[in-house]
Amino acid sequence: MALKRMLENWSRLRQRDYYKDAPYLWGLTIDLNKCIGCGACVAACYAENNVPVVGKEHCGRGHSMHWMRIERYWDEPDGKADIGQQDASDFPERGAHYIPMMCQQCNHAPCEPVCPVAATYHSPDGLNTQVYNRCIGSRYCGNNCPYKVRYFNFFNFWKDLPHPLEMQLNPDLTVRDKGIMEKCTFCVQRIRDAKDQANDEGHPEHVEDGSMQTACQQSCPTDAIVFGNLRDPKSQVSRLWEQHHVVLNRHEQDKSDDIRGYRVLEELNVEPCVMYLDRVRDVEV
């Protein structure tokens, strides 16, 4: 019986665009022109998703858990990007690039096929879902993620919470134990909420655009982050994607000069659901 079900599931999953008729495909747009690198999104993500604050020592060892991070890249004086530069005494004139980086919810996610227990899978909403209870911590997904946005609970970090602080944990989602992988979920608990609400209001397959915000989007002071349903042509995020000629499942994207839209590591064909808008700068400075 189980075998029959398995074979059925497989033959269905092998079809291309199996989920294409699903009402939702959640996507994100981040405008790097607007991003000031303040880190409010990071703090909001920590608060919303019960992400453990690991402290300076663990952070130094590379055990930090920030589901959302601000990557900072410096420019070299001659205009070439230099990623290795860490020396703060050597600030180039034109300052830093900031890229907020979180799980890109790839449509062809490299993390999914490698999990031995299928703890990570693709939901019909286009989310790359991590099932904490199922995870056994083989960490293969973390290795195979080109963005390195999967975070492993190297310790029982929740045990370090001093007494009153456990009261501020978000009751809408779990606190994770040691030995499992976690990552950005596009605030799936909020998505659930919005869907339930839409159900109650009598339009089950349609979450109003803007009725639900991710924590990072909500806290961004410059509105650099836009979240929404890519299947809804009227949503803000869909319009942005269309405006910047970024199309899902197309090998060759439009790369004309005046187009700012791109997805990080597009050439790997992992089809991420997060579009970035390139920063425009005066090159003559």
Partner 1 sequence: MEHQDTMKDVAWAKINADVLRSLEKPRRIFWIVLAVCALLVLSGVVAEIYQYREGMGVALMNRPHYWQLYISNFVFWIGMSHSGTLLSAILLLTKADWRKPIYRFAEAMTLFSILTAAIYPIIHLGRVWNLYWILPYPDARTIWPNFRSPLLWDAAAITAYATSSALFLYIGMIPDLAICRDNAKGWRKKLYTALSMGWMGRAREWMAFRKTYILMACFLVPLAVSVHSIVASDFAMSIMPDWHITSFPLYFVAGALYSGCAAIITLFVMLRHIFKFEAYMTTEILDKTAKLTFAIAMAWNYLNLSEYASIWYSNDMYEKEVLLAKFFGPYAVIVWTMLLCATVAPFAMVFKKVRHSMWSMFILSLVLQLGMWLERFQIVSPPLASNHEPWTWAVVWPGAVQLIITLASFGWFTMLFLIFCKIFPSVSMYEVKEMVFHRRKASSRARLEDLSAIKEEVARAEEGLQ
Residues of the shown chain interacting with partner 1 in the complex, contacts defined by CB under 8 A? 1-2, 5-6, 58, 61-64, 69, 71-73, 83-84, 99, 101, 110, 113-118, 134-140, 142-144, 146-148, 150-156, 178-181, 265, 268, 270
Q: How far is the CB of 118 from partner 1 (least distance, A)?
A: 4
Q: Which is nearer to partner 1, 223 or 267 (CB)?
A: 267
Q: Which is nearer to partner 1, 22 or 265 (CB)?
A: 265
Largest pairwise CA distance in the chain: 68
Q: How far is the CB of 2 from partner 1 (least distance, A)?
A: 4
Q: How far is the CB of 210 from partner 1 (least distance, A)?
A: 31
Q: Which is nearer to partner 1, 145 or 198 (CB)?
A: 145
69-75 vs 81-82, strand pairing mode: antiparallel
Lookup: tokens for 23: 């009402």
- State the number of CA atoms in the 13 A half-sphere of 276 facing the CB: 19
Q: In 3-state terms, what secondary structure has residue 172? A: coil
Q: Which is nearer to partner 1, 75 or 232 (CB)?
A: 75
**What is d(CA 105, CA 223) in angstroms, rounded to the nearest whole number?**
21
Q: How far is the CB of 83 from partner 1 (least distance, A)?
A: 4
Beta bridge partners of 69: 101
Q: How far is the CB of 13 from partner 1 (least distance, A)?
A: 10
**What is d(CA 89, CA 149) in angstroms, rounded to the nearest whole number?**
29
Lookup: tokens for 279: 């920063």
Lookup: tokens for 109: 């996610």
Q: Which is nearer to partner 1, 181 or 207 (CB)?
A: 181
